[in-house]
Amino acid sequence: MEDRIREAVDFLSSKITSSPVIGIILGTGLGGITEKIEMELRVPYEEIPHFPVSTIEGHRGTLVFGALAGKKVVAMEGRFHLYEGYTPEEVTFPVRVMSKLGVRYLFISSAAGGLDPEFTPGDLMVVMDHINFTWTNPLIGPNLDALGPRFPDMSEVYDRDLINTAKKEAANIEISLKEGVYAGVLGPSLETPAETRFLRMAGADAVGMSTVSEVIVGVHCELKILLIVVITNVNIPDAMEKTSLEEVIAAAGKASPGLSLLWERVIGALP
């Protein structure tokens, strides 16, 4: 694994002039922020040694290097999900590569189903904590001590300073930003009413099929993490409505400009 990471990093480093400091992972329908990046380089995943390739609608598969709000960034347009059949190691490989390229901050966006009945589709929620309900973990197996500790501490996964900055900047641009707990599930089937009730009782405010694996690896390599999810649909156990991919993509697309602006402001406010 260390060799594979090194090969991907060497390939990318030879193409860029300076190291990115911020890594961005874009969720379903949330690619808009890359339009704001002053682009230096765009690399399709299939050209990068050992990179997986994304398969689903609404996800492109390119790594974008450039500057945003005066900071060097690398953004993943298109990400990998466990439900596509990728291993947890494959899903998180890009995070390890970004970290070795010099990234210190990891910004993640994602589409999610709302579990808090007060939420409405289009809401943005900054994630304060998560529950890993994917029945797996990307750190299973021998620990690579050179990359991080055997038992990473998870007492404060999401960086408080970044959360506070996001709240402040959201207020400045008059975007309402909810706060809550994200439950990461495996998918691809959506939740039954009983599962939805269970997740809510477990303390989750939103549920999605991505992100927790990348976040766990982000903690392993000591990145400062900010996760903002777009609530694309709201699931109420006693009044479940059908959820479609079209609806998720449409709701995410509507929220995308607000989220892009928020991220630009948060990145601009970084030291």
Closest-by-Cβ residue to ligand HPA is: 113
Check residue 211 for interaction with ligand HPA (CB under 6 A).
Answer: no
Check residue 221 for interaction with ligand HPA (CB under 6 A).
Answer: no
Collect all residues with Cβ–Cβ distance below 8 Å to 75 and sequence separation of at least 6: 23, 24, 25, 26, 33, 34, 37, 63, 64
C-alpha 167/C-alpha 131 separation (Å) is 22
Q: How far is the CB of 27 from ligand HPA (least distance, A)?
A: 9
Check residue 109 for interaction with ligand HPA (CB under 6 A).
Answer: no
Name which position in 37, 111, 225, 266 contacts ligand HPA (CB under 6 A).
Answer: 111
Residues 48-87 vs ligand HPA: string with x where CB under 6 A?
----------------------------------------
Check residue 34 for interaction with ligand HPA (CB under 6 A).
Answer: no
DSSP-derived letter for residue 144 is -
Contact 204, 131 (CB under 8 A): yes
Q: How far is CA 27 from CA 102, 186, 218, 260, in A?
A: 22, 15, 16, 12
Which C-beta is closer to ligand HPA: that of 22 or that of 181?
Answer: 181
Check residue 108 for interaction with ligand HPA (CB under 6 A).
Answer: no
Binding to ligand HPA (CB under 6 A) within 113-172 occurs at 113
Check residue 209 for interaction with ligand HPA (CB under 6 A).
Answer: yes
Q: Which of 232, 209, 49 is nearest to 132 (CA)?
A: 209
What residue spans of 23-120 are helical by DSSP H? 88-101
Name which position in 26, 106, 162, 190 contacts ligand HPA (CB under 6 A).
Answer: 190
Contact 28, 249 (CB under 8 A): yes
Which C-beta is closer to ligand HPA: that of 49 or that of 187?
Answer: 187
Check residue 94 for interaction with ligand HPA (CB under 6 A).
Answer: no
Q: Which two tokens stand for residue 113?
A: 């189903």
211: exposed, middle or buried (C-beta count within 10 Å: 0-12, 13-18, 19+)?
buried
Which C-beta is closer to ligand HPA: that of 207 or that of 266?
Answer: 207
Name which position in 138, 184, 208, 258 contacts ligand HPA (CB under 6 A).
Answer: 208
Is the preceding omega at residue 188 within 30 degrees of 0, hence cis? yes
| Dihedral of the alpha carbons of 253, 258, 263, 266, in degrees to the nearest 10 | -170
First vs last C-alpha separation in the chain: 33
Which C-beta is closer to ligand HPA: that of 105 or that of 182?
Answer: 182
Check residue 22 for interaction with ligand HPA (CB under 6 A).
Answer: no
Q: Which residues bind ligand HPA (CB under 6 A)?
A: 111-113, 190-191, 207-209, 232-233, 235, 243, 248
